[in-house]
Amino acid sequence: MFEIQREGFIDMRYCCHIVPKDVLDRFAEDTRLSDELREGMSRTSRVSDGVRTLRVQAGIFTTAVQASGAQFVQLAAAPTVTVYDCKQTQTPPGTLLVPPYGDPTAKRAFAETTKVANFYQALFGRNSIDNAGMTMMSSIHFGVKFNNALWNGAQMIYGDGDGQIFIDFTNGNDVIGHELTHGVTQNTLQLAYKGDAGGLNESLSDCFGSMFRQWEAGQDANSADWLIGSTIMGPMAIGRGFTCLRDMANPAATHCLNPQPINYSQLTPSTDPHYASGPPNLAFCVACKTKGGNSWEKIGQVWYATMTGTDATPNMTMPDFANRTRQVARKNFPADPTVFAAVDKGWKQVGL
């Protein structure tokens, strides 16, 4: 049903980008699309997959830095946010842009990245991606009609989309929050990108990306739509009935470009992380809706404490993560048993 199994799966096969490789490949083979659109999808797939090498090396460097204790030296009290223009080349970072920005894409990249920094600081007391004031750098207009946004291990890269299936990826504040959270995960749990850990890696980005979108809109958990990528869908995708990439409240929905399993029992060791994130996404959404109020006030705090309050565990399983969130809920909110009850209900709904 989900076409999620892959043969010969190896660590880090899938780069941390918002649009899964198989979605790009599916469009690249869709004969209903023009040759230009199909080639653009194929090109995006190849480039996105290739960027994984940079991210692997960045992850190794992060591990070495943390082992040396160097991450405890603070660069700045708050992160500097910079924007570069690749001018349709594939050579980041590109040309540094100086505010005030005349380019709407540059304005969005700067504004939303700054808001993500404020989100992590105000709600979780985190100083940038590495919690030490790391500069938050973005490169826009990457490639020609590049259909993705990604974290390459050191910075953000945004494509403009092809204008039909996807539009400018800086239009998605949840996309920006999602991808920057891959940097946070890189500097905390250091989750691998395979198996359960890979699914958790993607899920944490969806959870915090959705929380960021809700926080910016002032929405509580029960009024939010819990969609990921709804504002980057192009007219052709919408015309085919696709309203988003993923739906955290209903991961298997047919209106998603990236429908997911909803139960942990449906996952295999070779499940692409973009699909394996379905069960923990649903667990988080159910927990937030059950608790009520703002997702970031209680349940989001539990998820953040679980992500940052333990040593790096690159191969953490979903049952282990679920149990740790239960423990954190009891420990951090002893006077409010409804937090534990909500967390427990969420995980039980997906078989954990």
Residue 348 belongs to domain with CATH number: 1.10.390.10
Cβ pair 231, 172 in contact under 8 A: yes
Q: HSE (CB half, 13 Å, CA atoms) of 29?
A: 5
Say how far residue 6 (Cα) sits from the centre of its chain. 21
- The contacts of residue 336 (CB under 8 Å, 6+ apart) are 298
Residues 167 and 259 in one domain: no
Residues 30 and 139 in one domain: yes
pLDDT of residue 55: 54
State percent of the chain over pLDDT 90: 86
pLDDT at 9 exceeding the cut of 80: no
pLDDT of residue 288: 99
With a threshold of 0.75, does the pTM exceed it?
Answer: yes
Residues 178 and 204 in one domain: no
pLDDT at 127 exceeding the cut of 70: yes
Residues 141 and 202 in one domain: no
d(CA 231, CA 229): 6
Residues 195 and 303 in one domain: yes
Residues 166 and 97 in one domain: yes
pLDDT at 118 exceeding the cut of 70: yes
Residues 35 and 169 in one domain: yes
**Stretch among 74-78, 161-165, 285-289, 339-343 having the lowest mean pLDDT:** 74-78
Per-residue pLDDT reduced to its tens digit, 158-175: 999 999 999 999 999 999
pLDDT of residue 97: 98
Q: Residue 133 sits in a domain of what CATH number?
A: 3.10.170.10
**Stretch among 16-30, 44-58, 143-157 having the lowest mean pLDDT:** 44-58
d(CA 89, CA 116): 26
Residues 224-238: what's their mean pLDDT? 98
Residues 160 and 207 in one domain: no
CA dihedral (192, 71, 120, 133) positive or negative: negative
Report the 10 Å Cβ neighbour count for 42.
15
pLDDT of residue 67: 61
Residues 172 and 193 in one domain: no
- DSSP for 60-109? HHHHHHHHHTGGGS-S-SS--EEEEE-TT-S-SS-EEP-SSP-SHHHHHH
Residues 212 and 148 in one domain: no
Q: Which is more confident, 142 or 17?
A: 142
Residues 259 and 320 in one domain: yes
Residue 212 lies in a domain: yes
Residues 39-64: what's their mean pLDDT? 71
- DSSP for 96-107? EP-SSP-SHHHH
Residue 1 lies in a domain: no
Catalytic positions are: 179, 274
Domain, as residue range, for 128: 10-187
- Structural domain total, the chain: 2
